[in-house]
């Protein structure tokens, strides 16, 4: 890893944490390390001079991870034109990748043929991995919108952004009818089931709901059923952002109708098929459905998740259906909720049993409505870092010295945003900021 001098705009955030938590030296040290991690170690450039953000220990750029890693710097960009320009450049790079292949989730810095080129799908040398995930297309829209809210600038809503939006809308509309209209399939040989799609790469059979289909979860694991509810929730929020962007930048009546129609269909699909009656928790959201009645009650640690719904902007933090879902998620009824001697929280089938994800704990903290829960989570996160001062992917709930991914910038960024929220600092235009009004 390399280090860089700390810009004054970053130091302002570091100083604020020290001001709010003057006696918590470990938190101060951990926040500084985690907050600077993306800036100091994962931010590079393409040959064209645009930002390229690796995930950490993998030399590829995920649309999801790169957005989440850079998101805390939106608070810096409010007063730092250089960081604002970096984020605007990242939005441009993301939308160029979307135009290159809207079904891909991760890309190479150049067309070097690295990654999973042997996968049975339409790979290209610029694509690292082509697992289709709805959220990969939501995140660039979210980043562009929040950059506008943070800085007031509209310059990044350029031709690349507009063409990227067109590609995204086309895919989401196509995947509403995955069985009859989709060109996408994916298979990877000699791997665990979660790394490939069944039925000759088409995935478990679905029927029309109004929602849009996803092959994979934000964990990069295959969906059990093709309508991934939290990702559809995120897509609805992203479509709302596009409505605002179009009204201010493009004023395209046909585009407005296209966005509004798709948003309405997906919202209705969530209400008609994702809202289910649980025997213990009542009316709540399922994690995945297929449109025929099959449903999957669970939640995963990665974002978007059901737990993260109001953090992303779908529904209110105190909505009864969300609260019932949250109760389920944070109980043993959720097959991926873990209770250990050191940690309690949500894990993932992507990592070993009995492992809790710090990302999920940060989300739990940011969606909690009482301070005691927030502070209890902060205590867990600051005492279970394995002595590294960083967040990890998954941590053994009974031995925090056992963890996956020593270098995981996404998790460090989520922790940073959680800590800043405890200091009264939020991304402008985000649901967390709006919830404080």
The predicted structure's pLDDT at residue 2: 38
What pLDDT score was predicted for residue 437? 52
pLDDT digits (tens, 9 = 90+) for 44-98: 999 999 999 998 888 999 999 999 999 999 999 999 999 999 999 999 999 999 9
In degrees, rounded to 5, the angle at the alpha carbon of residue 24 between the alpha carbons of residues 22 and 26 is 130
User: Which two structure tokens, joined as six digits, stand for 20?
Assistant: 């709010």
pLDDT at 3 over 50: no
Quote the Cα angle for 40-142-276, to 5°: 120
Segment 87-142, tens digit of pLDDT:
999 999 999 999 999 999 999 999 999 999 999 999 999 999 999 999 999 999 99
- Provide the token pair at 348: 């993932």
Contacts by 314-317, CB closer than 8 A, 24 or more apart: 314/233, 314/234, 314/236, 314/237, 315/233, 317/367, 317/369, 317/431, 317/435
Instruction: Give the residue among 392, 387, 313, 309 at the shortest CA–CA distance from 350.
Output: 392
DSSP character string of 149-210 = HHH---TTSSHHHHHHHHHHHHHHHHGGGHHHH-----B-SSS-GGGS-HHHHT-S-----S
pLDDT tens column, 352-382 = 999 999 999 999 999 999 999 999 999 999 9
Compute the distance between CA of residue 138 and CA of residue 143 in angstroms, rounded to an integer: 9
Hey, where are the domains in the chain? 8-432
Examine the pLDDT at 180 and tell me if it is beyond 90.
yes
Residue 5: per-residue pLDDT? 78
Asked if the model's pLDDT at residue 436 lies above 80, the reply is no
Q: What mean pLDDT is reported for the chain?
A: 96
Quick one: pLDDT at residue 176?
Answer: 98
**For residues 328-346, average pLDDT:** 97
Q: Which CATH number fits domain 8-432: 3.40.50.720, 3.30.70.270, 2.60.40.1260, 1.50.10.10?
A: 1.50.10.10
Q: Is the pLDDT of residue 251 over 60?
A: yes
Q: What is the pLDDT of residues 181-227, one digit of tens each?
A: 999 999 999 999 999 999 999 999 999 999 999 999 999 999 999 99
């Amino acid at each position: 890893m390399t280090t860089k001098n700390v810009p004054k705009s970053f130091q302002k955030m570091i100083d604020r944490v020290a001001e709010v938590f003057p006696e918590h030296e470990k938190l101060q040290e951990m926040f500084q390390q985690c907050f600077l991690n993306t800036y100091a170690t994962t931010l590079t450039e393409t040959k064209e001079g645009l930002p390229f953000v690796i995930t950490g220990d993998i030399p590829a750029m995920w649309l999801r991870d790169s957005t989440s890693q850079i998101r805390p710097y939106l608070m810096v960009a409010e007063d730092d034109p250089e960081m604002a320009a970096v984020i605007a450049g990242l939005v441009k790079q993301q939308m160029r990748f979307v135009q290159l292949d809207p079904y891909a989730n991760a890309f190479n810095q150049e067309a070097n043929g690295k990654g999973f080129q042997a996968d049975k799908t339409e790979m290209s040398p610029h694509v690292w991995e082509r697992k289709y995930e709805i959220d990969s297309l939501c995140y660039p829209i979210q980043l562009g919108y929040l950059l506008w809210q943070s800085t007031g600038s509209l310059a990044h809503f350029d031709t690349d952004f507009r063409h990227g939006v067109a590609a995204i809308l086309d895919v989401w509309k196509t995947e509403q009818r995955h069985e009859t209209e989709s060109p996408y399939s994916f298979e990877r040989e000699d791997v665990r089931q979660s790394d490939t799609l069944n039925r000759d790469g088409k995935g478990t059979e679905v029927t029309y709901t109004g929602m849009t289909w996803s092959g994979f979860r934000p964990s990069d694991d295959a969906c059990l059923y093709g309508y991934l509810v939290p990702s559809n929730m995120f897509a609805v929020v992203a479509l709302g952002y596009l409505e605002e962007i179009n009204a201010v930048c493009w004023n395209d009546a046909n585009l407005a109708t296209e966005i509004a129609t798709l948003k309405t269909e997906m919202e209705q699909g969530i209400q008609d098929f994702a809202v289910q009656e649980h025997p213990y928790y009542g009316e709540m959201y399922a994690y995945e459905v297929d449109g025929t009645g099959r449903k999957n009650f669970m939640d995963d640690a990665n974002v978007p998740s059901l737990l993260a719904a109001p953090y992303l902007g779908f529904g209110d933090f105190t909505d009864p259906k969300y609260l019932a879902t949250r109760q389920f998620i944070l109980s043993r009824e959720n097959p991926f909720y873990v209770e250990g001697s050191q940690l309690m929280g949500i894990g993932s089938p992507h990592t070993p049993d009995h492992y809790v994800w710090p990302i999920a704990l940060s989300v739990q903290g940011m969606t909690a409505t009482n301070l005691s829960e927030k502070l209890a989570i902060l205590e867990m996160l600051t005492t279970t870092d394995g002595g590294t001062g960083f967040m990890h992917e998954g941590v053994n709930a009974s031995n925090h010295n056992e963890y996956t991914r020593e270098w995981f910038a996404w998790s460090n960024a989520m922790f940073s945003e959680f800590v800043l929220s405890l200091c009264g600092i939020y991304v402008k235009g985000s649901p967390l900021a709006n919830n404080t009004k």
